[in-house]
């Protein structure tokens, strides 16, 4: 019989949440993981709160049905727009990416000023702004819509991406935020740009990765309240399982960039409306 282990479900609208899974694997290597990428219905940013909530709740239910004992919402849009609804619908603990990222940013900031970069939908939700202000940190948000397609193109260290990032950061670190000492990455694609962003950002700026912060928050939660595994449950499933609602081949190809190693198998899921 295989040892019984905690099973964590990770949900995202696409591939970016794999950076959260990568961080989780580093921090909690002895758990089982199920990843659900709703690739057929992305991007979530252009959809209504009601639609995002419905999709995310469906995905959460699917992960629970496949053994997840905790849900990690590794999608900034779903966290920002629908975390309450996902939590209400779930019968297991739920952790999103916004609060852990804001908590870490607040802990790192000396002068209580931070810049947040993310997608249009995340910025328009003001979720990070509210979470930081609740912790006594003034925040300025900047939407960076060109960065996600550049990352998915594989241009994570390209001169074009560096110039785009430089323009965005120059626009973000202006006026009263020239002295901001934290750059919070409010999109799960952005960890792939950290080396480039370190070059572009001012030397006094600390870069906070919400993917890493979320993994640390999950680890703290498990230390505080370990998840019991049913005595009669055999862990015959693979340690890592991947589900996607669109092309499994595309998921494997793109996903490996985010996860940092080969993805052997992806199972296709057709969630009915």
On whether the CB atoms of residues 73 and 96 are closer than 8 A, the answer is yes
Mean pLDDT of 102-118: 98
Write the pLDDT tens digit of every residue in 227-250: 766 555 545 445 899 999 999 999
Q: Which residue has the higher pLDDT, 241 or 226?
A: 241
Residues known to be catalytic: 75, 187
Model confidence at 272, in pLDDT bands (50, 70, 90)? confident
Q: Residue 151, CB half-sphere, CA atoms under 13 Å: how many?
A: 26
Model confidence at 217, in pLDDT bands (50, 70, 90)? very high
User: Would you say the CATH fold of 98-211 matches that of 7-96+213-268?
Assistant: yes
Pairwise CA distance, residues 46 & 85, whole Å: 19
The CATH number of domain 98-211 is 2.70.98.10? no
On whether the CB atoms of residues 19 and 72 are closer than 8 A, the answer is no
Write the pLDDT tens digit of every residue in 164-185: 999 999 999 998 999 999 999 9
Query: What per-residue confidence (pLDDT) applies to 248?
Result: 96
Delimit the domains of the chain by residue range.
7-96+213-268, 98-211
Check whether the bond before 107 is cis (ω within 30° of 0): no
Closest CA to 245 of 62, 52, 71, 107: 62
On whether the CB atoms of residues 80 and 13 are closer than 8 A, the answer is no
The CATH number of domain 7-96+213-268 is 3.90.650.10? no
């Amino acid at each position: 019989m295989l040892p019984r282990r905690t099973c964590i479900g990770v949900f995202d609208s696409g591939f970016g949440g794999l950076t959260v899974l990568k961080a989780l694997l580093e921090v909690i290597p002895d758990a089982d993981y199920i990843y659900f990428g709703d690739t057929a219905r992305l991007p979530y940013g252009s959809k209504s709160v009601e639609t995002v909530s419905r999709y995310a709740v469906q995905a959460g239910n699917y992960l629970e049905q496949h053994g997840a004992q905790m849900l990690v919402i590794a999608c900034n849009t779903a966290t920002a727009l629908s975390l309450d609804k996902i939590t209400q619908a779930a019968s297991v603990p739920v952790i999103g990416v916004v609060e852990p990222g804001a908590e870490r940013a607040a802990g790192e900031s000396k002068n209580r000023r931070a810049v947040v970069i993310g997608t249009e939908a995340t910025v328009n939700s003001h979720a990070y702004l509210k979470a930081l202000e609740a912790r006594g940190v003034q925040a300025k948000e900047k939407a960076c819509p060109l960065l996600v397609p550049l990352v998915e193109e594989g241009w994570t260290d390209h001169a074009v991406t560096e110039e785009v990032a430089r323009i965005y950061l120059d626009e973000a670190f202006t006026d009263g935020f020239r002295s901001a000492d934290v750059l919070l990455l409010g999109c799960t694609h952005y960890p792939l740009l950290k080396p480039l962003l370190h070059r572009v950002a001012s030397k006094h700026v600390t870069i906070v990765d919400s993917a890493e912060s979320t993994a640390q928050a999950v680890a703290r939660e498990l230390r505080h309240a370990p998840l019991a595994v049913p005595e009669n449950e055999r862990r015959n499933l693979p340690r890592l399982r991947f589900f996607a609602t669109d092309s499994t081949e595309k998921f494997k190809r793109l996903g490996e960039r985010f996860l940092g190693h080969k993805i052997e198998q992806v199972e296709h899921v057709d969630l009915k409306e």
